[in-house]
């Protein structure tokens, strides 16, 4: 069964975070991914999700590459070099490892597309009001979980809990 998206709109960010914490604590509702979509005061749409950008991949890859290369060259005996040779060898290895790790991390982050599709966010952002953020959940079995999800989110005053496909049909 392919995962489907469910949308819930909340009266405030605080209420949304409390509801998300509550849902994550439930063991029988398995959430594959979650994202928060909100409209800022200036009309800009802000999306907080688990997508890894190229900058994050580059920083992570560069740091890991520099550390591994520096430790690797030290293990190969670079510290036994006389004078300043040990510092130059370890520094050069860290520099090359950091550069290669940065490129590799950026490349890997571009290949991994774990974010929600822009079309989903556009449909939702057209309906959002300022100060009323939305929670998008990716669930495996929406048909079975939707009534339970509505019951669990009722104390948090979720205005709408529905499948994103049906939500998009209402918006058009």
Whole-model pTM: value is 0.64
Q: Domain of 119: which CATH number? A: 3.40.1520
**Mean of the pLDDT values across residues 33-55?**
82
Judgement on whether residues 85 and 163 belong to the same structural domain of the protein: no
Given a cut of 70, whether residue 97 has pLDDT beyond it is: yes
Judgement on whether residues 72 and 151 belong to the same structural domain of the protein: no
More confident call, 41 vs 124: 41
* Structural domain of 143: 4-51+114-171
Judgement on whether residues 104 and 120 belong to the same structural domain of the protein: no
Q: Which pLDDT value is given to residue 103?
A: 95
Given a cut of 50, whether residue 172 has pLDDT beyond it is: no
Q: How does 153-166 read in b/e, with b if 16+ C-beta sit within 10 Å?
A: beebebeebbbbee
Looking at the structure of the chain, the number of domains it has is: 2
> How does the average pLDDT of the chain come out, rounded?
83
3-class SS of residue 28: coil
Given a cut of 90, whether residue 159 has pLDDT beyond it is: no
- Cα 61 to Cα 71, 90, 107, 109: the distances in Å are 15, 18, 10, 10
Judgement on whether residues 60 and 96 belong to the same structural domain of the protein: yes
């Amino acid at each position: 069964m392919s995962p489907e998206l469910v949308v819930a709109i909340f009266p405030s960010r605080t209420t949304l975070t409390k509801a998300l914490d509550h849902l994550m604590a439930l063991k029988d509702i398995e959430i594959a991914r979650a994202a928060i979509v909100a409209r800022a005061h200036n009309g800009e749409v802000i999306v907080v999700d688990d997508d890894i950008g190229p900058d994050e991949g580059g920083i992570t890859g560069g740091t890991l590459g520099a550390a591994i290369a520096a430790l690797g060259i030290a293990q190969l005996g670079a510290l036994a070099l006389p004078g300043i040779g040990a510092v130059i060898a370890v520094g050069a290895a860290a520099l090359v490892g950091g550069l290669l790790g940065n490129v590799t991390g950026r490349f890997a982050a571009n290949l991994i597309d774990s974010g929600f599709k822009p079309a989903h966010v556009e449909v939702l952002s057209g309906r959002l009001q300022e100060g009323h953020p939305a929670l998008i959940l990716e669930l495996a079995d929406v048909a079975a979980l939707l009534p339970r999800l509505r019951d669990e989110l009722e104390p948090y005053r979720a205005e709408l809990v529905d499948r994103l496909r049906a939500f998009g049909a209402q918006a058009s």
